[in-house]
Structure 1
Amino acid sequence: MTTRRRLAALGCAASVLLAPLTVMGLAEAKTPPGKPVTVMTRNIYLGVDINRPVEAAMEAAAQPGASLITVLTALAHATDESRRIVDRTDFHVRAELLADEIGDARPDLVGLQEVALWRHGPMEIGQVGVPNAEVVDYDFLQILLDELAERGTPYVAASIADRADVEAPSFSGSVAAPVNPRDIRLTMRDVVLMRQSSSLTEIDEGQAVYDVNLSLGVAGVTFDFDRGYQWIDVRAGSERFRFVNTHLEAFSSDIALAQAQQLVSEATSPDRSTIFVCDCNSDPVNSKVKEIDTVPHKAPYELITGPGGYTDLWKASGRPADLPGFDAGDTSGLNETVDEPLPGSWTHRIDMVFGRTASGEPLTTDRGRVTGRDGDPRDPATGLWPSDHAGVVMRVRGL
């Protein structure tokens, strides 16, 4: 059984119950060789726990006396709640904080994850799971680009990669008398930004969806939570290098490991240095194995820094990395509504910057820091943090 099929089986109860509802400006580089390049990884947070609707439907399906109506209602109620949380974690507010953060760091290249596109449309009970809603509520990419331009630090999207594209019915009340009925659609994207004033020039790009991804059966349909990688090849003076961005699976370390294997095999440049940034969902000090997995949480990280031949540039910078704790570069752990009091529950180091030359030698760094975490980066009016992740900025040498 493939990993996709094995995990899809988790939602079989809901699928069976709802089976009848198939109705349901970049100038030419003139900098001398050897000039460092500053890169950033930034998960900007889609605004809600995306698992809530699926989990609610599966839980309803497991209850004694569950019916098609009760499972559909649970799915729609959870989707409605999730969409309200997206409003509460207002990206217009958070984008201002993120733009301040990026503008202050001025990275040449930024790898963004969870660049959500939220849309809505008429509720279509006859087409559950069909992603066709078109009315845009939040375009995270455009909102962030506009905020960066307003600050005089414009960036361009050098690569946009569409990933999971999921849609579900949303309402409160009952199926017979729904309140605010509509479909809610989320399109996930990974994006590479390039600073317009950078001396870098993009010369090529590519991307791919991973062969192994999470799938869950709900409402008589299969929801595919696809992830993948993207890269751009860049000229910096007389040097060429590749910049890779990815977001590995969070639900299963088995899946994340398979994705990491494909990443290092396919995305690593054979003839130039490669820098890659990620929300890797793999903490190097976490040896726990989830019930659904056969490998520990740290396995993808160990693959990347072991057989993959990559150097963890945060660790190479001399910063603490092998002990848990705030000072070890932890970048994840905030609550869903990203409104925790200071200092915030930062408990995982999963946002990474890696590097290697074409021959497998390490790249080096002489500067690195965590952003959006220290001090008080919150919005003073709402108490919102920029994201449920912090960013990592590294200045990379040895290209």
Structure 2
Amino acid sequence: AVDVNVKKTTYRFVNTHLEVRSAPGSVFRYFQSLQMQELVGTIAYLSNLDPKPIVMVGDFNSSIEDEEGCWEHPAYGCLPYVPPYMQAVGAGYLDSWRLQNTYDDGFTSGFDEYVSDPAAELTSRIDIIFIDPKNLEIDKVQADVVGDTVEDMTPSGFWPSDHAGVVAKIKFDE
């Protein structure tokens, strides 16, 4: 995390990359859930000590479509998990993409493993900018996906990354 001062207000900026997305019931969904619990819990603890607005970004490998489930542990049976997206929203974070008026899906994931297919279609939105504004009111959010058009490919024919990026301009009321 990094604390950033903008116009006399200090914001805490947090970046993460959680465990890979996998099939429901997978041990990786359980690991991912634990990672998010740790992240949200740590931020909450630090915020209790030193409250400030939070911008939490990253490849969460989780989307609004993910559902709760359980991983069947061989010795302990069902170990429940809650998807990271659901945990963030449950902890009071706002999804910046959903705060704007758009019909665009905002998909950022779906390039092939070689990141070289110009016809690749992005199929899910797992790269997210979450906001916990604390006592500030959000005036406007403008978010966009970048690195998702053929024109963004390198001269050698590769996408800039294995995911498209998401950027947001967030304006708080003063």
Deviation at 1:334, TM superposition (A): 1.1
Q: Cα 1:289–1:340, aligned 2, differ >3 Å: closer, same or farther? A: farther
Output the CA distance in 1 between the equivalents of 2:18 and 2:123.
18
Question: What one-letter code is carried by the residue in structure 2 that aligns with 1:386?
Answer: P
User: Which among 305, 312, 315 is matched to residue 95 of structure 2?
Assistant: 312
Question: What one-letter code is carried by the residue in structure 1 that aligns with 2:98?
Answer: K
Compute the TM-score of the two structures, normalised by the length of structure 1: 0.36
Deviation at 1:385, TM superposition (A): 0.7
Q: Cα 1:292–1:277, aligned 2, differ >3 Å: closer, same or farther? A: farther
Question: What one-letter code is carried by the residue in structure 1 that aligns with 2:97?
Answer: W
Give the aligned partner of residue 281 of structure 1: 61
Q: Which runs of 4+ in 1 moved over 2 A?
A: 286-296, 361-366
Query: Does structure 1 residue 358 correspond to structure 2 residue 134?
Result: yes
The 8 Å contact of residues 249 and 281 in structure 1, kept in 2 or not, is answered as yes
Query: Does structure 1 residue 234 correspond to structure 2 residue 4?
Result: yes
Please show how residues 233-252 of structure 1 align to structure 2 within 5 Å. 233-250=3-20, 252=28
The 8 Å contact of residues 311 and 362 in structure 1, kept in 2 or not, is answered as no
Query: Does structure 1 residue 345 correspond to structure 2 residue 114?
Result: no
Compute the TM-score of the two structures, normalised by the length of structure 2: 0.79
Deviation at 1:237, TM superposition (A): 2.1
User: Which among 77, 86, 94 is matched to residue 302 of structure 1?
Assistant: 86
Output the CA distance in 2 between the equivalents of 1:377 and 1:257.
33
Output the CA distance in 1 between the equivalents of 2:170 and 2:6.
12
Q: Cα 1:292–1:329, aligned 2, differ >3 Å: closer, same or farther? A: farther
Output the CA distance in 1 between the equivalents of 2:72 and 2:58.
23
Deviation at 1:242, TM superposition (A): 0.5
Query: Does structure 1 residue 379 correspond to structure 2 residue 154?
Result: yes
Q: Cα 1:295–1:372, aligned 2, differ >3 Å: closer, same or farther? A: farther
Residue 11 of structure 2 aligns to a residue whose secondary structure is: strand
Q: What stretches of structure 2 of length at least 5 have no aligned partner?
A: 23-27, 74-78
Deviation at 1:358, TM superposition (A): 2.9
Give the aligned partner of residue 255 of structure 1: 31
Deviation at 1:387, TM superposition (A): 1.0
The 8 Å contact of residues 332 and 390 in structure 1, kept in 2 or not, is answered as yes
Q: Deviations over 1:48-93 (max 9, x none)?
A: xxxxxxxxxxxxxxxxxxxxxxxxxxxxxxxxxxxxxxxxxxxxxx
Deviation at 1:330, TM superposition (A): 0.8
The 8 Å contact of residues 146 and 167 in structure 2, kept in 1 or not, is answered as yes
Residue 285 of structure 1 aligns to a residue whose secondary structure is: coil
Q: Deviations over 1:294-326 (max 9, x none)?
A: 667x721011012x1000001111234xxxxxx
The 8 Å contact of residues 355 and 363 in structure 1, kept in 2 or not, is answered as no
User: Which among 88, 96, 111 is matched to residue 334 of structure 1?
Assistant: 111
Output the CA distance in 2 between the equivalents of 1:292 and 1:383.
42
Give the aligned partner of residue 43 of structure 2: 267
Output the CA distance in 2 between the equivalents of 1:370 and 1:356.
21
More helix by share: 1
Residue 130 of structure 2 aligns to a residue whose secondary structure is: strand
The 8 Å contact of residues 356 and 363 in structure 1, kept in 2 or not, is answered as no
Q: Deviations over 1:109-162 (max 9, x none)?
A: xxxxxxxxxxxxxxxxxxxxxxxxxxxxxxxxxxxxxxxxxxxxxxxxxxxxxx
Residue 267 of structure 1 aligns to a residue whose secondary structure is: helix
Residue 314 of structure 1 aligns to a residue whose secondary structure is: helix
The 8 Å contact of residues 66 and 83 in structure 2, kept in 1 or not, is answered as no
The 8 Å contact of residues 71 and 80 in structure 2, kept in 1 or not, is answered as no
Deviation at 1:290, TM superposition (A): 8.4
Output the CA distance in 2 between the equivalents of 1:351 and 1:275.
13
Deviation at 1:357, TM superposition (A): 2.4
Q: What stretches of structure 1 of length at least 5 have no aligned partner?
A: 1-230, 321-326
Output the CA distance in 2 between the equivalents of 1:331 and 1:292.
30
Residue 40 of structure 2 aligns to a residue whose secondary structure is: helix
Give the aligned partner of residue 392 of structure 1: 166
Query: In terms of Rg, which structure is larger?
Result: 1
Q: Deviations over 1:340-397 (max 9, x none)?
A: 123x1311110000111235x76454311000003531123x2111111010000012
